[in-house]
């Protein structure tokens, strides 16, 4: 009993450090969104140019994350996590110490890439220290770290930036990153990659059609969400007749819902990940429909916004669970792919919603989201019948912590 309790305590510490790392990296990603006007003014660039800092981070994560994961396949996951965190701290030092716009953009690409690498290595580490029955919940810890950064880290960082300047916020991120790095050095276990698991072999399994099909569910679900949520503020202003400080309440509610959904989704992933993806896509569709039909009622709009966040982010652990399970030997590399699919979906959804608004008004962004969400439901249902090959679906049921 004592040994079991000690192992559980050690696993809890490891998961806490991984959560903290995900939270700090998520804060760094979202800081620019909350201070885009301050950054644009200080660097003497337009708001759209400052917005490119967000795009740079997303592209770094979507493309650089899997690439770095591929290149570091042979390394112990502990070393990968420590290296990714160290580079993250160094890259954020550039804007903190006075980097100009071009260097800032480059730093954001690097920050996004190592963030994607951290996610993949953290997923492998988290699932290696818990029993198979708790795999989804372990994954949810990492995902909820990023979700919490939007729910609480973003507004706190924005307030700090307004108080001490936007560069001061990045100083705080660097300080927090150093603390996470020290804790990681002290706590993280060694998680070596099996010697017969080469990068090319992993890629063959990670990019198998069955894995890509499930990733399409994530792409479509988040595209549907962001087609509407990206333009939630103008929707509230024009349709719901809500403006001023009250808008922040809706945004905070959405952030809280994503955090709750991502953490709670882990239990549903453990129970039945395929079914959770279907329910999540249906929930997003119904919430978007409520937003469209009852857009003039602020109370029902609030319920719809909560539903989008809860159901959408609730699918995160299930996507990760399914992708890793279907990838089999390619799981270490495949762990980086859901984040790429999410970011691609976010980019596509925001673009599709913007085009819809240009064509007919802000409500058309929600209509676009509903159409994409219906496609997500269909794909989620179709992929629920996909199973991994028998040889790839036999898990290593003994956690590293018990060896």
DSSP state at residue 129: S
Architecture of the CATH domain 197-388: Up-down Bundle (1.20)
Read off the pTM. 0.79
What local confidence, expressed as pLDDT, does residue 198 receive? Answer: 64
What local confidence, expressed as pLDDT, does residue 87 receive? Answer: 97
Contact call for residues 308 and 257 (beta carbons, < 8 A): yes
What local confidence, expressed as pLDDT, does residue 1 receive? Answer: 46
DSSP state at residue 398: S
Same-fold call for 1-193 versus 197-388: yes
Alpha carbons 210 and 213: distance in angstroms, whole number:
5
- Using one digit for the tens of pLDDT, what is the confidence trace for 1-27? 445 555 566 888 999 999 999 999 988
Contact call for residues 383 and 217 (beta carbons, < 8 A): yes
Q: What is the number of alpha carbons within 13 Å of residue 54 lying toward its C-beta?
A: 20
Alpha carbons 333 and 336: distance in angstroms, whole number:
6
Question: In Å, how far are 11, 19, 281, 399 from 7, measured between CA atoms?
Answer: 6, 18, 36, 10
What local confidence, expressed as pLDDT, does residue 394 receive? Answer: 38
| Closest among 20, 65, 57, 79 to 335, alpha carbons compared | 65
Higher-pLDDT residue of 403, 55:
55
What local confidence, expressed as pLDDT, does residue 49 receive? Answer: 79
- Using one digit for the tens of pLDDT, what is the confidence trace for 173-184? 999 999 999 999
The number of residues in the chain equals 403
DSSP code per residue over 18-75 = HHHHHHHHHHHHHHHHHTHHHHHHHHT--HHHHHHHHHHHHHIIIIIHHHHHHHTTTS
Higher-pLDDT residue of 282, 245:
282
- Using one digit for the tens of pLDDT, what is the confidence trace for 341-356? 988 888 788 888 888 8
- Using one digit for the tens of pLDDT, what is the confidence trace for 209-267? 999 999 999 999 999 998 888 788 788 888 999 887 788 788 788 888 988 898 888 88
Sign of the dihedral defined by the CA atoms of residues 288, 294, 296, 299, in that order: negative
CATH class of the structural domain 1-193? mainly alpha
- Using one digit for the tens of pLDDT, what is the confidence trace for 302-341? 999 999 999 999 998 999 899 988 988 887 788 888 888 9
- Using one digit for the tens of pLDDT, what is the confidence trace for 132-173? 888 888 888 888 888 888 777 667 766 777 788 889 889 999
From 27-36, 121-130, 175-184, 268-277, the region with the lowest mean pLDDT:
27-36
- Using one digit for the tens of pLDDT, what is the confidence trace for 45-88? 876 677 778 778 888 888 898 899 888 888 898 999 999 999 99
Helices (H) and strands (E) counted in the chain, each on its own, are 19, 0
Q: Confidence band (pLDDT; 50, 70, 90) for 390?
A: low
Domain spans, the chain: 1-193, 197-388
Q: Confidence band (pLDDT; 50, 70, 90) for 89?
A: very high
Match 């450090």 to its residue by tokens.
Answer: 17
Torsion of CA 234, 235, 241, 247, to 10 degrees: -70
Contact call for residues 18 and 108 (beta carbons, < 8 A): no
């Amino acid at each position: 009993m004592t040994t079991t309790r000690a192992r559980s305590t050690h696993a809890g510490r490891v998961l806490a450090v991984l959560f903290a790392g995900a939270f700090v990296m998520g804060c760094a990603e979202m800081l620019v969104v909350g201070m885009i006007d301050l950054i644009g003014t200080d660097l003497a660039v337009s708001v759209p140019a400052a917005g490119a800092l967000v795009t740079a981070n997303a592209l770094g994560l979507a493309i650089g994350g899997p690439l770095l994961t591929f290149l570091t396949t042979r390394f112990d996951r502990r070393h990968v996590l420590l290296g990714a965190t160290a580079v993250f701290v160094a890259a954020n030092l550039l804007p903190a110490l006075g980097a100009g716009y071009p260097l800032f953009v480059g730093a954001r690409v690097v920050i996004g890439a190592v963030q994607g690498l951290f996610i993949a290595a953290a997923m492998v580490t988290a699932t290696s220290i818990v029993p198979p029955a708790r795999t989804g919940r372990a994954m949810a810890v990492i995902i909820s770290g990023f979700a919490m950064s939007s729910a609480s880290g973003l507004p706190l960082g924005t307030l700090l930036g307004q108080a001490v300047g936007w560069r001061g916020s990045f100083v705080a991120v660097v300080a927090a990153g150093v603390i996470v790095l020290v804790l990681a050095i002290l706590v993280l276990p060694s998680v070596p990659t099996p010697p017969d698991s080469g990068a090319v072999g992993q890629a063959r399994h990670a990019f198998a059609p069955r894995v890509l099909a499930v990733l399409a569910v994530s792409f479509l679900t988040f595209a549907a969400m962001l087609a509407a949520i990206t333009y939630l503020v103008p929707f509230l202003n024009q349709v719901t007749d809500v403006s001023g400080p009250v808008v922040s309440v809706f945004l905070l509610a959405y952030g809280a819902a994503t955090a709750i959904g991502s953490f709670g989704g882990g239990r549903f992933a453990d129970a039945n990940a395929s079914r959770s993806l279907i329910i999540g896509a249906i929930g997003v569709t119904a919430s978007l429909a409520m937003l469209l039909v009852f857009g003039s009622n602020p109370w029902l709009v609030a319920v719809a916004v909560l539903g989008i966040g809860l159901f959408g982010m609730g699918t995160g652990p299930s996507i990760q669970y399914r992708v890793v399970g279907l990838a089999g030997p390619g799981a270490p590399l495949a762990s980086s792919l859901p984040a790429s699919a999410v970011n691609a979906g976010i980019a596509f959804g925001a673009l599709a919603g913007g085009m819809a608004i240009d064509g007919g008004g802000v409500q058309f962004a929600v209509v676009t989201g509903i159409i994409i969400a219906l496609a997500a439901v269909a794909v989620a249902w179709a992929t629920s019948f996909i199973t991994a090959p028998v040889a790839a679906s036999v898990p290593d049921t003994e956690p590293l912590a018990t060896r």
